[in-house]
Amino acid sequence: MLNQALNHLEEWLIATLIAAATGLIFIAVMHRYGAGESIVLSRWATAHGMTWLATLSMTVFTFLSELDLSWAQELCIYMFIWMAKFGAAYGVRTGIHVGVDLLVNRLPEHSRKHVILFALLCGALFTGMIAAFGASFVKEMFHTGQQSNDLEAPMWFVYLAIPLGSGLMCFRFLQVSWFYYWTGELPHHDETHVEGVEADVSPALHPQPAGAETKAAARKVSPLGVILILAPILIFAMCLAEKFGVVLLPHWMRAATVFALLIALMLTGIPVSIALGLTVMTFLFTLTTVPIEAVSMKLFTGIEGFEIMAIPFFILAGNFLTHGGVARRMINFATSLIGHWHGGLGLAGIVACAMFALVCGSSVATVAAIGAIVLPEMVRHGYPMHFGAGIITVAGSLGILMLPSIPKIVYAVSTNTSIGALFVAGLLPGIMLTTMLCIVTWWLARKRDYPRMPKASWGETVRTFRESIWGLMLVVIIIGGIYSGLFTATEAAAMAAVYSFVIAVFVYKAIGLKDVPRVLLRAANTSAMLLYIVTNAVLFSFVLSNENLPATLADWIAAQNLGWVGFLLVVNVLLLLAGNFMEPNSIILIMAPILAPAAKKLGIDLVHFGIVMDVNMEVGLCHPPVGLNLYVASMIARMRITELAVAVLPWLITMLGFLVIVTYWPDLTLWLPRVLGMH
C-alpha cells in the first residue's frame, strides 16, 4: 500500500507540475498583452462614443497593471526542475530512460541478466551519490539563508528537488534491480506503441534476443558479457591509479579516458543520462581538482534556462495533437488536393506528414498519427502494405526537420544558437524533402500502375481545409509569434500546448477531460527523461570545457586542412554511424558541444550546422537497429523489421541524396532566417 501511494504521489506531482507551468506561462503572456490591448481598446471606444466599453476596458487595464506576475517565469523554471527530478524517478519505474542495448540484447539470458543488474546498480550508485551531494548542498544553502530573485523563496527549499528526486530515483533503481533479480522482468516503456492501434508483438515480427532458445544456451556465460562489465571497471581502476600516482597519464590519454569510459558504460545498457553522469563523476573524483560542489550546482543550473522549458511544452502539444483528431483532418485535406494523382494516397500521406510536422515536432508522433490512418486506407484501396509503410516511415522523419523540433531545441541549448532561427531554417529544406519524396512516390506508383482516387471537387477541398484549419493555425501561433516578437520560443511552445489542448478537447472533441491527466503524465514522463539527459550532458560539457577539449579538438581539425567540405563529410559519416546505436537527442547532446566549435572555426554557420545534424538524425530514425520510425511503422503495418528495412530503401536513398544537398548548400537553410531578420 505504501508503494502504491508513492506511485500515485509521483504521478500526480509530475502531471500537476507540467499542467501548472503551462497554464502559468499562458496566463503571464495573456497578462502582458492584455494590459496594452485593453488601453488601446479603451481609447478606441472613447473615440467612437462607446462609454460603457471604454469604462470596462479601463477597469481591465487597471486590474492587470496592478497585478504583478514578474515572478511567473522563475516559478515555472523551479516547477520544471522539480518535475524533471521526480519525473526521472518515475521514468526508472516505467522504463522510459533510453540506453544503448544493442550488444546486451545479443547475450545469452544468464549473461544478459548479469549485465543488466550491473547497469541498474550503477544507476543506483550514481543517483545515491547525487542525493548525498545534494543533501550537503541543501544544508549549506539553508545556513546561508539565500533567497531567489523574484519569488524571494528560500533557495534551500528550491534545491531540495536534487536530494529528494535523486534519492527516490536511487530507490527506484534498487527496487527494479530486486524485482528483476527474482523475476527476470524489467519495466518496459515501448516508445513504438501507438494508442488506438492494436500492435502485433509476436516473435515472428520481433524476434527474441539471441541466446534465449534453449535452457542450455540461456545458462551459458558469454565472454562478451564479461567484457561489457569489466571494461568500465578497468577504466575506472586506471583513473584511480592516476589519482594515487601509480601511473601518469598524458593529457591526450586523459581526454581519451573520458570517451572510453562513456562508451564502455553505454554499451552495458546503462541509460545514456546515467552513463554521462558516472563518467563526469569519475573524471571529477580522479583526474581533476574541480570542487564537487560544482556538480550539485550544475545539476540545478543545467536545466534552469528558460529556453529549455520549450522542450516539455512542445512535447505536451505534440501529445494533444497526436490524440486530438488533427492528423485525420490533415490527411483528408491532403487527399482532396492530390489524391487523384498516381500514388495519390501515398502522396497525401507525405503531405499530411509535412503538415503535421509543421505543428508537432516529433518524428515518432508523426509516423504514429499519420501512419495509423493512412496505411489501412492505402491497403483498402489496393496499395501493397510495403509501399505505404516505406513512405510513412521516411516521411514521418519530417517531424524533426520542419518548424518546431525537440532535437533543434536540444541543439540550440547545447550550442547557444537561436531557437527561432533553427525553426525557420528547417522550413525550406523540409519543403524540398517533401517534394523529393513525392516525386519518388509518384514515379514508383506510375511505373507499377498503382490505383488512383477520383478527383475531389472544389467544395470538398474547401470543406476539408476548413476542418483542418484549427490544426494548421498552430503554424501561425509558433512562427508568427516568434517572428513578430510577440512570444519567445518557450512562450510560443506554451501557447501551442494550451491551444492544442483546446482544439483536442473542445473543438474536435477527440479526447475527453478524463483523458487529459493521462496525456499530461505521458508528456511529463517523456520530458523528464529528456531533461535528465540534458542535465547530465551539461555536466559532461562542463568537464570537456574544463579540460579545454572542444577548443583543442577544433585546433586539431583545423590543422588537418580538411576545409569545411571535408569536415562536413567526416561529420556526416560520424553522425550516420552514431545513428546506428543511439537516439537523436543523446547524439546531439554529446556531439554538438564537441563538433560545433570546430565547425565555427572553419566558418560554418551554426544554424546551418544544426540543420545538417538534424537531417542526419532523420536518417538514423529510418533504418535498423534503433530507428524508432521503423519500429512504429512495423507495429502499424504488421511487418517484420527486416522486410520494412528493405521497403524504405527508395525513400531512404532519396533522403541520403537530400543530406548531401543540405550539407553543401548552406543558403537553402540560411536564406529564410536572414530574410526574416532572425539570423
In single-letter form, the type of residue at position 499 comes to: Y
CA pair distance 225, 186, nearest whole angstrom = 18
* Secondary structure (H, E, C), 481-521: HHHHCCCCHHHHHHHHHHHHHHHHHHHCCCCCHHHHHHHHH
Whether 525 and 620 map to the same domain: the answer is yes
Whether 241 and 384 map to the same domain: the answer is no
Whether 298 and 319 map to the same domain: the answer is no
Whether 473 and 587 map to the same domain: the answer is yes
Whether 508 and 612 map to the same domain: the answer is yes
Question: What mean pLDDT, rounded, does the chain reach?
Answer: 82
Q: Domain for residue 102, yes or no? A: yes
Beta-carbon contacts of 213 under 8 Å, excluding residues fewer than 6 positions away, are none
Tell me the average pLDDT across 560-589: 83
Predicted pLDDT of residue 198? 44
437-463 confidence digits (pLDDT tens): 999 999 998 888 887 888 888 888 888
Predicted pLDDT of residue 290? 66
Predicted pLDDT of residue 443? 92
Beta-carbon contacts of 67 under 8 Å, excluding residues fewer than 6 positions away, are 31
Tell me the average pLDDT across 204-213: 43
- Number of other residues whose CB lies within 10 A of the CB of residue 605: 18
Q: Checking phi first, is residue 624 left (phi over 0); if not, alpha (psi -120 to 50) or beta?
A: beta
DSSP for 215-248, please give it: HHHHTPPPHHHHHHHHHHHHHHHHHHHHHTTSS-
User: What three-state secondary structure class fits 403?
Assistant: coil
Q: What is the band of 62 on the pLDDT scale with cuts at 50, 70, 90?
A: confident
Nearest to 672 by CA among 621, 599, 611: 611
Contact 300, 156 (CB under 8 A): no
Tell me the average pLDDT across 218-227: 75
As to burial, measured by CB atoms within 10 angstroms (0-12 exposed, 13-18 middle, 19+ buried), residue 565 is exposed
Predicted pLDDT of residue 657? 93
Helices within 145-213 (DSSP H only) = 155-159, 161-183
CA pair distance 268, 103, nearest whole angstrom = 8
Question: What is the grid cell recorded at 243?
Answer: 589519482
Whether 37 and 165 map to the same domain: the answer is no
Q: What are the C-alpha distances in Å from 459 to residues 333, 334, 344, 466?
A: 11, 14, 19, 11
Whether 313 and 293 map to the same domain: the answer is no
Q: Domain for residue 210, yes or no? A: no
408-423 confidence digits (pLDDT tens): 888 888 888 888 888 8
Which region among 103-107, 150-154, 296-300 has the lowest average model confidence (pLDDT)?
A: 296-300
Contact 357, 366 (CB under 8 A): yes
Q: Domain for residue 542, yes or no? A: yes
Tell me the average pLDDT across 634-651: 82
Whether 171 and 318 map to the same domain: the answer is no
Whether 121 and 37 map to the same domain: the answer is no
Q: Domain for residue 196, yes or no? A: no
Q: Which residues form the domain of 432?
A: 308-676
Of the residues 68, 91, 125, the one at which a domain ends? 68
Tell me the average pLDDT across 596-603: 86
Whether 169 and 58 map to the same domain: the answer is no
- Number of other residues whose CB lies within 10 A of the CB of residue 441: 29
DSSP for 619-674, please give it: HHTTSTTT-HHHHHHHHHHT--HHHHHHHTHHHHHHHHHHHHHHHH-HHHHHHHHH
Q: Domain for residue 211, yes or no? A: no
184-201 confidence digits (pLDDT tens): 888 865 554 444 444 444
Nearest to 453 by CA among 384, 382, 388, 392: 382
CA pair distance 677, 226, nearest whole angstrom = 56
Contact 101, 538 (CB under 8 A): no
Q: Residue 147 phi/psi, 5° resolution?
A: -120, 160
Full-model pTM: 0.83
Whether 312 and 296 map to the same domain: the answer is no
As to burial, measured by CB atoms within 10 angstroms (0-12 exposed, 13-18 middle, 19+ buried), residue 513 is exposed
Predicted pLDDT of residue 241? 85
334-391 confidence digits (pLDDT tens): 888 888 888 888 888 898 888 888 777 778 778 877 887 888 888 888 888 888 888 8
Of the residues 39, 68, 97, the one at which a domain ends? 68
Which region among 64-73, 301-310, 382-391 has the lowest average model confidence (pLDDT)?
A: 301-310
Q: Domain for residue 206, yes or no? A: no
Predicted pLDDT of residue 305? 66
Beta-carbon contacts of 487 under 8 Å, excluding residues fewer than 6 positions away, are 29, 481, 495
Number of domains in the chain: 3
- Number of other residues whose CB lies within 10 A of the CB of residue 225: 25
Query: What angle is formed at CA 362 by the lines to CA 525 and CA 513, rounded to 5 degrees?
Result: 55
Query: What angle is formed at CA 413 by the lines to CA 411 and CA 414, rounded to 5 degrees?
Result: 60
Of the residues 304, 319, 345, the one at which a domain ends? 304
Whether 4 and 131 map to the same domain: the answer is no
Beta bridge partners of 200: none
